[in-house]
Structure 1
Amino acid sequence: MDPQMKLLFDELKSMTQSMEDLKKSVEDRINGVEHSLCDRFMAMESVAKGLEDWKPRVEASVEYLRVEVAALRKTVNRVVLEQSAPSPSIFPALGATAAISSAGNPVVGSDEHYVDPPHRETACGSVTAYTSLLVKGMYDSHSHKSFAVNVDPSGVRNTFELRSLAQKFMGRLPKMNFPQFDGDSPKLWISRSEDYFEMYSVEPSMWIKVASMHFIAASASWLQSVEKKTKTMSWPQFCRIILDRFGRDQHEVLIRQLFHIKQSGPISEYIEKNF
């Protein structure tokens, strides 16, 4: 064989071997990338599944905390307002305080001498008033007066007891009936129901039960079909299904009325009727 041809043949053989090695290297790298992507995809699927399982529990916990914090905030605000404005049912009138000692007996002594009440109430939760008194029951405007409030911390451990105490000293509101729901204006009914619960400090766990007792007409028939589901619902979920059922109907009625609006009289009558 010609030496030049042999040299050329060897060179081609060497290049062919290099191409085979390069091809094998590229294939190995591609396989490695595929395995890596597959492992990462499986890991992401596992994380996504964990998040889906975790999300409902977190949402339920957040909703529960929101309701409890809102109820506690309302209770604390009422207690603060009641403490800042003295109620006549708690503190006796000055005339009665000057004429009667803390033991309930008339004060006896000489003129122009001050007599301290001989007994002091120290029971848990009691409110005691100490004032400087004249013997004949005359109140001295320059005398020092102090009010001491003794509260046992163990008496306010329960949130419901604190609400009951706040409701007892709430303003003298007249007793009002709970708003009935017949299917019309669901948003207005929900707002008035929440105002009623707030005024009378109704426990959030009782809101759905109380509201369900005041469904009438078409809404009562609808409630029978979903009553079992409502036993496990929260108040926001209960309001949502009400709006989905009755809010949509009201929206459709308004749209039909809008399409049938026409002027058949004076402009003022048209505006008053439709707007």
Structure 2
Amino acid sequence: MAQLQLGKFESPSPPSPRLEVGCYSTTTRIGKLEFPRFCGDGVRDWLYRCEQFFGVDGTPDDVKVKLVAIHLEGRALQWHQAYVRSLGVEGKIVGWSEYVTAIISRFGDSGYEDPMADLKNLK
């Protein structure tokens, strides 16, 4: 609670971000941002949105993989669980850059997407 002491208004410190099962979001000057979910498709676009969220939220590096993990679904979640087990680091911190390399290796594409080529290949 805010306190009034000797004519000065002291505001409480803002609550620290918490990891909760479900949807993680942060409130900004422009509104509420929700963390992007990932099921295995469009990994590069998803990683871009994650990086943007981390920048706006000020997410610490040691929280990024944990935050990502609770927003994975389907085959992406299955991959994550197997990846963490294979490293023998369950409950420990996995580095973000190492994780990005691994998830691109598993779900990535050739490096770029060409929507026109996809349209031309429709039969």
More RCO (CA 8 Å, sep 6+): 2
Structure 2 CA distance for aligned equivalents of residues 225 and 191 of structure 1: 23
Change (3 A) 1:221 1:272: closer
Aligned residues: 95
Structure 1 CA distance for aligned equivalents of residues 43 and 118 of structure 2: 24
Question: Does the alignment pair 1:173 with 2:23?
Answer: no
Q: In the alignment, which residue of structure 2 is the partner of 1:111?
A: none
Q: In the alignment, which residue of structure 1 is the partner of 2:61?
A: 204
- Larger fraction in strand: 2
Structure 2 CA distance for aligned equivalents of residues 192 and 211 of structure 1: 11
- Secondary structure (helix, strand or coil) at the match of 1:184 reads coil
Question: Does the alignment pair 1:274 with 2:120?
Answer: yes
Tell which structure's C-alpha radius of gyration is larger.
Answer: 1
Structure 2 residue corresponding to 1:189, chosen from 46, 55, 59: 46
Structure 2 CA distance for aligned equivalents of residues 271 and 192 of structure 1: 24
Deviations 1:208-236 (A, max 9, x none): 10001111111111112112336342100
Structure 2 residue corresponding to 1:235, chosen from 88, 96, 100: 96
- Tell me the TM-score normalized by structure 2: 0.61
Structure 2 CA distance for aligned equivalents of residues 271 and 234 of structure 1: 35
Question: Does the alignment pair 1:246 with 2:107?
Answer: yes
- Tell me the TM-score normalized by structure 1: 0.30
Counting aligned pairs with the same residue, the percent is: 25
- Larger fraction in helix: 1
Structure 2 residue runs without a partner (length 5+): 1-5, 17-26
